[in-house]
Structure 1
Amino acid sequence: MKFTCSVLIDAPIDQVIQLFDNPDHLKEWQDGFISFEPLSGTPGTPGAKSILTYKHGKREMQLVETITAKNLPEEFSGTYEHKHMDNAVTCSFKALSHNTTRMDYLVHYTRFKGFMPKLMAFLMPGLSKKYTQKWLDQFKNFVESTVSQ
C-alpha cells in the first residue's frame, strides 16, 4: 500500500527544515510521541538507527527507524519497522515562494505481519493516510506558530 500526503506551510524553507530535522520537536506534531533513542550510527545521518516510542491509549509502540537517505530539502528517507508492519517513508520540501514551503510525504507499507494487520489494511486502507495527513497538518501548525513568535 502506497500513498502521498502534502501540506503547504507558511514559513521559509530553511526554518521548516530546521524544525523538521530536530527529533526534540517530534512531540510537537506526532501524537503520542514519547522518546527518541539512538541505537547505532550518527543520529540524523544515513545508516543511523533509532528507536521511536509512542503511546496510544494504554499501549506503547516502538518503531525502529533506519535513515536511508538525507539530502534536505530534496529528500529525507527512512524505513520503520514494527512488530506488526514495516514501511518506508520519503519526505521532501520545496520552496514555492520566500514564505511558502510544500512538504510531501510518500509512505509505502512494505509488509504487514499477522492476520489482524493485514485485515485492517484491507478493510481500512484510508486510515493510515488520514493519520499521516493529520501529523502533517500538526507539523504545519507547529512550524507556523513557532516561526511567528
Structure 2
Amino acid sequence: MSKTTNYSLTINAPIEAVFEVIDSDEHMKKWMDGFIENQYDENYNRENPVGHKFKQKLKEDEEIQEYEGEIISYKPPKELSVRLKHSNFTVDAIYHLSSIGANQTNLDYECKLEMESMMGFIFSWFEKRILVKQLDRLKKYAEERFDGVL
C-alpha cells in the first residue's frame, strides 16, 4: 500500500536560508518535533551526500525510535530528499524549494509512504496532521531566524 501527501507553503526568507534550515541537523532540532540526531556512515561526504546512509533517532511518545535513512537527492538550494525505513513502512520525504522573490521561498513538500499493513492507513491520517504542524514550525523557525539578514 502506498500513499502520497503533498503540502505547499510560502516562507518569508531567501531560498538559501530555508534550505539551510532543512539541511542542517542543528537547525532540525529547533523545528522538528522529537528529532534527536542523525548518525552518518563513516564515509559521509557533506558536499556529495547522495546515496549515503544514516540512522535517524526520533523521540516518539516517550520512546526513542531509530530509522534507517538514505539521502536520495541533494541539489542545494532547490531540493533535498531522504528515505527513512522502519519495520512497517518506508517514507520518502522530498523538499522542493523555489525562489519567488528576494526574500520569499515556496516549499513544495512531498511525502511518499509505503506501508506494510493496514496500520498504515491509520498512520497516514496522523502523518497528515503531524506534517502540517512540522512544516508550519519549519516556516516559523526559518522566518524568525532570517529576520531580514542572511
Shared fold (TM-score, shorter chain, > 0.5): yes
Question: Closer, same or farther in 2 for the Cα pair 1:52/1:10, shift >3 Å?
Answer: same
Equivalent residue number for residue 28 of structure 1 = 30
Quote the Cα distance in structure 1 between the aligned partners of 2:9 and 2:92: 19
Alpha-carbon RMSD across the aligned residues, in angstroms, is 1.8
Equivalent position to 2:57, from 32, 44, 53: 53
Shift in Å at residue 40 of structure 1? 4.6
Structure 2 unmatched runs, 5+: none
Q: Is the 8 A contact 2:19 2:78 kept in 1?
A: no
Q: 1:94 is matched with which residue?
A: 98
Work out whether 1:105 is the aligned partner of 2:104.
no
Work out the CA distance in 2 between the residues paired with 1:17 and 1:88. Answer: 17
For the 8 Å contact 1:43–1:49, the answer to whether it is kept is: no
CA contact (8 A) 1:32 1:56 kept: yes
Paired residue for 1:119?
118
Residues 110/119 of structure 1: CA separation in 2 closer, same or farther (3 Å cut): closer
Q: Is the 8 A contact 1:39 1:49 kept in 2?
A: yes
| Distance in 2 of aligned mates of 1:38 and 1:88 | 18
How many residue pairs align between the two structures?
A: 144
**C-alpha offsets along residues 16-62 of structure 1, whole Å, 9 cap, x if unaligned?**
11222211111111111111111254254101111110112221111
Range that drifts further, 36-45 or 83-92 = 36-45
TM-score by length of 2: 0.86
Cα pair 1:72 1:93 within 8 Å, conserved = no
Distance verdict in 2 for CA 1:54–1:125, change over 3 Å: closer
Q: CA deviation at 1:9?
A: 0.6
> AA paired with 1:47?
G
TM-score, normalised to structure 1's length? Answer: 0.87
Closer, same or farther: CA 140–69 of 1 in aligned 2, 3 Å: same
